[in-house]
């Protein structure tokens, strides 16, 4: 075999081996454009609006618009805080609601601009927790105002150092004021107390729920002339679950969903409703053959003793206990006591 034939044979053998190796891995591989489309990104690197896996992930969140009464609660909180903070700081304070957002708890912790103070509070009646996040601008503004800083000058910011005990104490007082007004804002819906628990500066130590759980964030803007900052309230949906049904109602005036005119009209009509009362003299159990054999003129002897208490009922509902008597030529009953109804009747039954 010559040298040329050997080279041709080696080339053919190598091509055959490459073909065998490529045969098992003949699956189609996605290119970069298809991968970007699947992940929800455009070719230029920008984020596509709600597409791909991002749409699947975000579909698990509950939009805060499904709790319309929650907006009313925070609007009420803004009005209360405006008055309370003016008395607290003795300054002209304006509080505004920058907006509500629904997001995952882990994403929110990663988005907190540091340095900041994270106040963990417990909702006593709902047995769960929430967060109040105060940014550095508001911290230094509150400290400056409460310690007698000049008006009309921006608060001095000293970054790169831990917060002092005085600063932490003043912020804790501010958070106490906010939590008190938050309880007042929820008062028309449910009586609830928000109790301050601890103050953290590291978001990792303020984990009050699982990172994947959904939460509602309310951003409040507090302006004190040339000073101010932002304060954020975070309430996990698990915390709001006990009053979720109440938060689902639509806002109809300051009565939080109640229509007093319709309630008064319904109560007035109910008072004029006619009902039939039956006096139960006696109860007997008879054979069916005897009942079928009853005819006009037959007599049924009552086993009730004279003066025995009788039952006055409306339909199947017993209402009163009474005594039998006579007035002129008619039988009459005198009510002696009211019988318990509903749950009270069940508890009274041995």
pLDDT given at position 252: 47
Does residue 313 or residue 163 have the better pLDDT?
313
Distance CA 72, CA 254 (A): 10
pLDDT (average), residues 81-96 = 87
pTM for this entry: 0.55
Which of 18-27, 78-87, 113-122, 309-318 comes out lowest in average pLDDT? Answer: 18-27
Give per-residue pLDDT as tens, 203-248. Answer: 888 888 888 888 889 999 988 877 888 899 999 888 888 888 888 7
φ, ψ at 224 (rounded to 5°) = -125, 85
Which of 70-79, 253-262, 270-279 comes out lowest in average pLDDT? Answer: 253-262
Distance CA 181, CA 236 (A): 19
Q: Which regions of 191-238 does DSSP assign to beta strands (E)?
A: 194-200, 214-224, 227-236
Q: Please provide the distance, in angstroms rounded to a whole number, between the alpha carbons at the two ends of the chain.
A: 113
Q: Six-digit token pair at 130? A: 């929430």
Percentage of residues in the chain with pLDDT exceeding 70?
A: 73
Q: Six-digit token pair at 263? A: 């309630």
Residue among 132, 7, 18 at smallest CA distance from 81:
132
Record: fold of 64-247: Chemotaxis protein chec (3.40.1550)
The segment with the largest mean pLDDT, out of 133-147, 168-182, 330-344, is 168-182
Cβ contacts of 339 within 8 Å, gap of 6 or more: 311, 318, 319, 320, 321, 345
Residue among 72, 74, 78 at smallest CA distance from 257:
72
Residue among 109, 68, 60 at smallest CA distance from 234:
109
The residue ranges of every structural domain in the chain are: 29-54, 64-247, 274-282+305-350
How many Cβ atoms sit within 10 Å of the Cβ of residue 216? 22
Q: Which residues of 281-316 are buried (b: 16+ CB within 10 A; e: fewer)?
A: eeeeeeeeeeeeeeeeeeeeeeeeeeeeebbbbeee
Q: Which neighbouring-strand residues pair with 233?
A: 132, 218
Give per-residue pLDDT as tens, 238-269. Answer: 888 888 888 877 754 444 555 678 888 888 88
Q: Which neighbouring-strand residues pair with 216?
A: 102, 235
Give per-residue pLDDT as tens, 28-68. Answer: 677 777 666 665 555 444 444 555 566 665 555 555 557 78
């Amino acid at each position: 075999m010559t040298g040329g034939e050997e080279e041709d044979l080696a080339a053919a053998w190598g091509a055959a081996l490459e073909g065998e190796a490529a045969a098992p891995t003949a699956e189609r591989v996605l290119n970069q454009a298809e991968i970007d489309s699947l992940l929800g990104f455009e070719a230029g690197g920008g984020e596509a609006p709600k597409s791909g896996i991002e749409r699947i992930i975000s579909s698990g969140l509950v939009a805060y618009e499904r709790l319309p009464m929650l907006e009313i609660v925070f609007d009420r909180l803004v009005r209360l805080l405006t008055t309370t903070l003016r008395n607290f700081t003795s300054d002209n304070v304006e509080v505004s609601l920058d907006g509500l957002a629904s997001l995952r708890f882990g994403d929110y912790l990663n988005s907190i601009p540091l340095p900041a103070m994270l106040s963990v509070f417990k909702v006593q009646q709902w047995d769960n927790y929430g967060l109040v996040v105060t940014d550095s601008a508001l911290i230094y503004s509150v400290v400056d105002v409460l310690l007698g800083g000049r008006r009309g000058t921006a608060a001095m910011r000293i970054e790169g150092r831990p917060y002092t005990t005085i600063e932490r104490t003043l912020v804790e007082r501010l958070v106490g004021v906010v939590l008190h007004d938050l309880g007042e804002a929820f008062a028309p819906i449910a009586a609830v107390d928000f109790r301050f628990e601890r103050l953290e500066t590291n978001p990792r130590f303020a984990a009050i729920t699982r990172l994947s759980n959904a939460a509602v964030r309310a951003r409040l803007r507090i302006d004190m002339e040339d000073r101010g900052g932002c304060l954020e309230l975070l309430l996990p949906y698990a915390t709001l679950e006990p009053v979720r049904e109440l938060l689902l109602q639509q806002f109809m005036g300051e009565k939080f969903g109640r229509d007093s005119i319709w309630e008064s009209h319904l109560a007035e009509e109910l008072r004029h409703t006619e009902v039939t009362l039956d006096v139960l003299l006696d109860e007997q159990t008879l054979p069916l053959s005897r009942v079928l054999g009853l005819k006009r003129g037959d007599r049924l002897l009552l086993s009730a003793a004279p003066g025995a208490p009788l039952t006055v009922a409306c339909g199947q509902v017993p209402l009163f206990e009474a005594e039998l008597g006579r007035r002129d030529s008619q039988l009459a009953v005198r009510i002696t006591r009211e019988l318990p109804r509903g749950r009270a009747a069940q508890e009274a039954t041995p």
